[in-house]
Each structure stands twice: as C-alpha cells, then as structure tokens.
Amino acid sequence: MNKFIRLVGAAVLAFTAAASQAAWPERPITLVVPFTPGTGIDLIARQLAASLPRTLGQPVVVENLAGASGNIGSEKVARADGDGYTFLVTVNTFVMNASLYKGKLRFDPQKDFSPVGLTSWGSLLLVTHPSNPANTVDDVVRAASAAPGKLSYGTPGVGTPHHLSMALFLDRTHTAMLHVPYKGTAGAVTDMLGGRLDYMFLPVHVALPQIKAGKLKVIATGSPKRLPQLPDTPTLTEAGLQGADVDMWYGVLAPQGTPPAIVDRMNREINAILKTPATAAAFDAQGMVPATSAPADFGALIARDAKRWDDIVARTGITAE
C-alpha cells in the first residue's frame, strides 16, 4: 500500500512539473545583462527582448546589472531560481573571469548555469599604425623577436579580451611585448592612431572605420574564417598560428536546474530570431555576426574556452585588477 501511495505521489509530482513547464511562460521574463546599456551585449539582449514576446506571449525585460567585469550580474543569475524566468546574456569574459578571479568568484561558470545557446560572434583585429613597416604576422613576429619586450601593445585594461587575446598571440609566437593598459578603449585607440603604440587587438566595428580611413593598418583577423568586410585579410590561423583565434562569443545561459524543456524552447525561439534579416542588420552595425547553436554545443564551447583561457592565464600570471 505504501509503495502504491509513493508511486501515485511521484506520478502526481511529475504531472504537475510537466504541466507547469507546458504552461511556461506565465509571467514576464528577465534578461540580465552584466554590463552597462549601449554595449554589444545590451544590444543583443534588447533585440531578443523586442522579438521574444511575439511567440512567448509574455513581456521580456532587460535588466542591466554592471560591475566587477560582469561578475555581479552573472552571480545574480547563478543564484536565481531555475524556473525559466531569469536568463543571462553575456560574452566570453564570463569564462575568462573564472581564471582571472581564481578562487574569488562566488559562482562557477560551468556548474551553476545551463547553456541555452549562442547568439553571435564578434571579431577582433590585430592592427597597427600605417607607418609601421610590418604588414604580416611573420613581420610582427620577426620584429618582436629582434627586440624582446621593446614593442608595445595597448588594451582597455588588464584581463580584458583584448589583453588575453594578445597574451595568447605572444604565447603562440613565443615573443614578448610591453603591455600598456588603459582605463577603457578610447585612450588606447587615441594613442594607437597617434603612433604611440605598436599593436593592438580591436573589435572590428571599432577598427574598421579607421582602417577604411587609412588611419590604421590591419595585420590579421582573429576569426576562424576571413571576414566579409575584409576578404583580403588573412586569419591568424592562415598565418600559421594554430588555436589562436580570438573571436568573442556572445550567448544566453539559464540558472542550473532550469528544466530542459524550457531551455530547449528558449533555444528554438532565440535561434529563430537570430535568422531574421533585421537581427543580422542590427548585429552587423556592431561588428557581430549572428550565430546559432544547440544548448549542448554551446556548453561544449564554454568548456573548451574555459580550459584555453585557464591555461593562458596560468602560464602568463595575469590577474584581474
């Protein structure tokens, strides 16, 4: 009799859970952006928030919760209920931070989240001043090898994607340069345009106008494939640097424990939005390319990226400021 009661109870619970998931969503959904309004991540979230209500039937709200390199917003989502009403829209600094803030984060990027899917890729370009005689990656490597630690490179700050990308480049080429960190991109770009820095990795939407104006020269793209905006510019891989692509991925995650049915539904809805011309145009203006993935594939990407950046941080000794 007791066994029968337990079986009935389990069946009721299962039915209730299934019914609840089938009814999802029953109230507004929040997309947490761990950075300030106006960033590329914010644009992605607002594009999704404008389109998702059409098929989900509920409002979708964007909440900007900036601070600590994205860690404050990420922690909030990690601690949220896995009920399908809170999601994180983020960038690959999400996994970089786990290495940079080793032992200091109050969440685990892999254990405390359920990947929903990619939204896009953003490319970084290795650029220099037009007066620099270097035109290829081989030229850069030869110049750096001839004067270890003498050439300079700028970044928006310690531990930024720009910094780790150059650290990866230097690691793969077995060279050294002087790191000049700035408090943001603007100052670094100003000095780059003035010829006071030798090299820098810049997002394509920041660098491209300066390249077209002849104020910057592009050496290579950090993307796995050549960019349509720069079809004649080789990738780092084409230049012989294996595993050196430094593109930034953007994606959506849910708190761990979110029902798979809800994760899959959200994945399908987001993927449909990413395939629309309006989304492609909005992303292109920010130098991003829409990208879709299954939740499991996005999870595998996060795991690979976490290991790669963990290795680089460990070898270089970079720590967040």
Which domains does the chain show, CATH number per domain? 2-122+247-316 (3.40.190.150), 124-221 (3.40.190.10)
**Res 303 pLDDT > 90:** yes
Alpha helices by DSSP H, listed for the chain, are 2-23, 40-51, 53-56, 71-79, 93-100, 137-146, 161-173, 185-193, 204-212, 260-274, 277-284, 295-316
pLDDT at res. 21: 52
Mean pLDDT of 276-303: 94
pTM for the predicted model, two decimal places: 0.85
Residue 145 binned pLDDT confidence (cut-offs 50, 70, 90)? very high
CA atoms within 13 A of residue 155's CA, in its CB half-sphere: 17
**Res 104 pLDDT > 80:** yes
pLDDT at res. 121: 92
* The token pair that represents 285 in the structure block: 């203006």
What distance in Å separates the CA atoms of residue 119 and residue 292, rounded to the nearest whole number? 6
Residue 2 binned pLDDT confidence (cut-offs 50, 70, 90)? low
Mean pLDDT of 245-273: 96
How would you classify the pairing of strands 86-91 and 113-122? unpaired
Angle at 25 between CA 21 and CA 30, to 5 degrees: 125
What distance in Å separates the CA atoms of residue 106 and residue 79, rounded to the nearest whole number? 10
**Which tens digits make up the pLDDT trace of 3-32?**
545 544 544 444 444 444 569 999 999 999
| Burial degree of 8 (CB within 10 A; 0-12, 13-18, 19+) | exposed
**Which tens digits make up the pLDDT trace of 203-253?**
998 999 999 999 999 999 998 888 888 999 999 999 988 888 888 999 999
